[in-house]
Amino acid sequence: MRVFYDQLNRKVSLDKIPQRIISTVPSQTELLFYLGLGENIIGITKFCTHPHHQTEHTTKIGGTKQLNIELIRELQPDLIIANKEENEKSQVEDLMSICPVWISDINDLPQALAMIESVGTMVNRKTDADVLVKAITSQFNALIKIKKPLTVAYLIWRKPYMVAGVDTFINSMLQLCGFTNAFKADRYPLIDAAILINANPDLVFLSSEPFPFTEKHIEEFKAILPNVKVVLVDGEMFSWYGNRLLLAPGYFLSLSESLA
């Protein structure tokens, strides 16, 4: 019996190397495919879109917060990989009656790297995971922070407005870029136009996910903060914590240069 501990410090026991894996988190799904486990992934969420040529043919088991528990049971997985923030606690508890569930809890880069290492070891891809961690670490070590200190309001939702606060992975990525979060509340506070004005950010970032902000929304925020630069940003670069982290430093550098 192989024994592992997830990021909630829960004991996860496996009697063999997992062969039938379900992932309930898009960024961790992409990581599993990256590690070469395509033939072992039997279920993913409808939001698991990378890599497209592989995910489009994989059974969908609902959304991250609306999992089809009965379908998951029918698929007979021997390992489910979930996340504390992205999945509903009650549903994750239901999954525990089906097979071992490994739960990630990620608020910064070190925790993301630890997840990659742990998952890689658990699914018998330790060498590949270690190489990936070294590559990501090297790229972030070379990331040059923006020289001018700027505060950012990072919007993730509309109607009602919601921003990324502190104690989030998004906030940790902002910090690594050299930005300061304009909101000091924990997690994802709801705000309105008055609160946004009072926060007085230098920049407003409109994320491409989970709400798909587009060009048409820029004027909406310019009307609230006419003297503030409003920028569309790739939400995957700020919030996905698997192998997509390889691309994030390059994206952050380009973003910083465009704001210089």
**Residue 240: strand, helix, or coil:** coil
Placement of tokens 């926060």 in the chain: 199
State the DSSP H helix or E strand holding residue 177, giving kind and residue range, or none if neither.
helix 169-177
The pLDDT of residue 63 is: 96
Backbone angles phi, psi at 39, to 5 degrees: -70, -15
- Dihedral of alpha carbons 165, 169, 174, 175, sign: positive
Structural domains in the chain, CATH included, are 2-107 (3.40.50.1980), 151-259 (3.40.50.1980)
Residue 206 has what pLDDT?
98
Q: What are 206-248's pLDDT values in tens digits?
A: 999 999 999 999 999 999 999 999 999 999 999 999 999 999 9
Which residues of the chain carry a pLDDT beneath 70?
A: none
Specify the pLDDT at position 128: 98
